[in-house]
Amino acid sequence: MSIVVDSVTKHFGDYTALDDVSLEVRDGSLTALLGPSGGGKSTLLRVIAGLETPDAGTVSIGGEDATRQPPQQRNVGFVFQHYAAFKHMTVAKNVAFGLTIRKRPGLGRLARTARSRPEEIDERVDELLRLVHLEGFAHRYPSQLSGGQRQRMALARALAVQPRVLLLDEPFGALDATVRKELRAWLRRLHDEVHVTTVFVTHDQEEAMEVAEQIVVLNHGKIERVGSPKQLYEEPGNEFVMGFIGPISELSGRSIRPHDVDILREPADGTVEAMIDRIVHLGFEVRVELTLGDGGRTWVQTTKTQAEELELFEGDIVWLRPNAPAEDAPAEPAVPR
Residue 161 touching other proteins (CB under 8 A): yes
Residue 323 touching other proteins (CB under 8 A): no
* DSSP structural state of residue 156: H
CA distance linking residue 20 with residue 31, whole number of Å:
19
Q: Which of 42, 17, 18 is nearest to 32 (CA)?
A: 42
Query: CB-wise, 59 or 272, nearer to other proteins?
Result: 59
Among 63, 109, 193, 331, binds other proteins (CB under 8 A): 109
Residue 44 beta carbon to other proteins: minimum distance, rounded to whole angstroms: 16
Residue 141 touching other proteins (CB under 8 A): yes
Write the burial class of residue 315 (CB in 10 Å: 0-12 exposed, 13-18 middle, 19+ buried).
Answer: exposed
Among 32, 158, 187, 288, binds other proteins (CB under 8 A): 158
Residue 28 beta carbon to other proteins: minimum distance, rounded to whole angstroms: 20
Contact 272, 319 (CB under 8 A): yes
Residue 102 touching other proteins (CB under 8 A): yes
Residue 86 touching other proteins (CB under 8 A): yes
Residue 20 beta carbon to other proteins: minimum distance, rounded to whole angstroms: 26
Return the SS3 of 88. Answer: coil
Residue 152 beta carbon to other proteins: minimum distance, rounded to whole angstroms: 15
**CB within 8 Å of 180: residues ≥ 6 apart:** 172, 207
CA-based diameter of the chain, in Å? 82
Residue 151 touching other proteins (CB under 8 A): no
Residue 198 touching other proteins (CB under 8 A): no
Alpha-carbon dihedral sign for residues 155, 157, 158, 163: positive
Helices and strands: H and E segment counts in the chain: 10, 17
Q: Binding-site residue total for other proteins (CB under 8 A)?
A: 33
Residue 157 touching other proteins (CB under 8 A): yes
Among 7, 113, 146, 305, binds other proteins (CB under 8 A): 113
Query: CB-wise, 144 or 305, nearer to other proteins?
Result: 144
Q: Rule CB under 8 A: which of 53-82 touch other proteins?
A: 70-72, 74-78, 80, 82
Query: CB-wise, 5 or 318, nearer to other proteins?
Result: 5
CA distance linking residue 300 with residue 247, whole number of Å:
10
Q: How many CB atoms lie within 10 A of CB 92?
A: 21
Residue 110 touching other proteins (CB under 8 A): yes
Alpha-carbon dihedral sign for residues 114, 116, 120, 123: positive
Q: Which residues bind other proteins (CB under 8 A)?
A: 49-51, 70-72, 74-78, 80, 82, 84-88, 97-98, 101-102, 107-110, 113, 141, 154, 157-158, 160-161
